[in-house]
Amino acid sequence: MSVFTPVMPEQLSAWLKQYRVGTLVQMQGIAAGIENTNYLVTTTGGNFVLTLFEKLTPLELPFYLGLIAHLAQHGIPSPAPATDLTGRLFSELNGKPAALMSRLRGEAVMVPTPAHCGEVGGTLADIHLAGQSYPGRLDNPRGPRWWREAAHKISPFLDAGRAALLHSELEFQALNRREDLPRGPIHADLFRDNVLFEGNRIGGVIDFYFAGIDSLLFDVAVTLNDWCVHPNGGIDAPRAHALLAAYHARRPFAAAERDTWPVLLRAAALRFWLSRLHDFYLPRPGELVHAHDPEHFRRILELRIAHAGDAPWI
């Protein structure tokens, strides 16, 4: 969501002629996130978010945009992709594939309560249930294969202690990976800045561009590790129980999921520690770039290892 590919107003005005959205009134770059270029766009026909995809290819985009459209059609408060005059969900703008999405209402809640976490847990379960009927197939792009590739790239930047932690956890995850857990499309990045609240209700879930097919419980672990933690990375039990109970009420957890829960809390911490290390040490140039602190998820990983025996559950 940083601006890596600048777009001039005249370029966007010409591109918008492919859509039935009116003419450009205003555009503004969004300076958050690190994967795609995003602009808030206002036209005479409404308010939208323009996304230029910096890494995703035209071969991959149908999975993501199709999933977003599928979820919106099944009652999930996700953005609806606009189609151009020929029915396409994306087309090229300034050399990059680009899509125009409806702009959802609401604001991110950065200091959530148990009530907020309950809403998030229930909505995540709804996403997983709706995703079961989505026919698209794409493995989680930030799954174990990517972990190994990223670890190879960033290991030279780490001190001995961090390198040992990283490689020890990679080995642990390889030995404990379960393929018998319920699977399907997952959001894979349902952090606080990707959920918009209107009061105490969710008005929108955004940024599905790390989605893929993986363990549904891994998605729950990713979400809990952001929504239900203290600043030091420790788990806030009331928020965690609210999220898990609300999820379980919509999609009951299987016995195998209970058994592997501490492992996936560690896997979720490892995934984001790796991605933040990669973005910190190997950043891409951009006009407005915001990189997150990798140390936050290192601390979370160490805590999940140390307290694996008392991980919260319902």
Domain finish residue from 102, 128, 148: 102
Same domain, 94 and 119: no
Domain finish residue from 68, 102, 136: 102
> Is residue 4 situated within a structural domain?
no
The DSSP code sequence of 204-258 is EE---TT-EEEEHHHHHHHHHHHHTB-TTS-B-HHHHHHHHHHHHHHSPPPHHHH
Please tell me what DSSP assigns to residue 192. G
Same domain, 234 and 161: yes
> Is residue 169 situated within a structural domain?
yes
Same domain, 185 and 48: no
Same domain, 146 and 73: no
> Is residue 189 situated within a structural domain?
yes
Which of 264, 263, 293, 288 shows the shortest CA–CA distance to 277?
293
> Is residue 148 situated within a structural domain?
yes
The predicted pLDDT at position 265 comes to 98
Same domain, 68 and 204: no
CB-side neighbour CA atoms (13 Å) of 63:
20
> Is residue 146 situated within a structural domain?
yes
Encode burial over 50-59: b for 16+ CB neighbours within 10 A, e otherwise.
bbbbbebeee
Q: At 65, which CATH number?
A: 3.30.200.20
Using the structure block, give the residue that is written with the tokens 């239900």: 228
Give bridge partners of residue 185 from the DSSP assignment.
213
Same domain, 40 and 184: no
Secondary structure of residue 260 in the 3-state scheme: helix
The predicted pLDDT at position 148 comes to 98
Domain finish residue from 50, 78, 102: 102
**Who contacts 286 (Cβ-Cβ below 8 Å, separation ≥6)?**
2, 3, 4, 37
Q: At 158, which CATH number?
A: 3.90.1200.10
Provide the residue-wise pLDDT of the chain in tens; the chain has 314 residues: 467 899 999 999 999 999 999 999 999 998 765 689 999 999 999 999 999 999 999 999 999 999 999 999 999 999 999 999 999 999 999 999 999 999 999 999 999 999 999 999 999 999 999 999 999 999 999 999 999 999 999 999 999 999 999 999 999 999 999 989 999 999 999 999 999 999 989 999 999 999 999 999 999 999 999 999 999 999 999 999 999 999 999 999 999 999 999 999 999 999 999 999 999 999 876 544 567 899 999 999 999 999 999 999 99
Using the structure block, give the residue that is written with the tokens 């806030």: 236
| pLDDT 10s digits, 103-113 | 999 999 999 99
The predicted pLDDT at position 267 comes to 98
> Is residue 107 situated within a structural domain?
no
> Is residue 3 situated within a structural domain?
no
Which of 186, 192, 182 shows the shortest CA–CA distance to 209?
186
Integer angstrom CA distances of residue 228 from 193, 216, 301: 14, 18, 14
Same domain, 281 and 226: yes
Same domain, 134 and 84: no
Same domain, 128 and 240: yes
The predicted pLDDT at position 3 comes to 79
- Count of structural domains, the chain: 2
Q: What is the pTM of this model?
A: 0.94
> Is residue 108 situated within a structural domain?
no
Q: How many whole angstroms separate alpha carbon 164 and alpha carbon 146?
A: 18
Same domain, 38 and 134: no
What range does the domain containing 14 cover?
9-102
Same domain, 39 and 124: no
Same domain, 170 and 231: yes
Nearest-Å Rg of the Cα atoms of the chain is 19
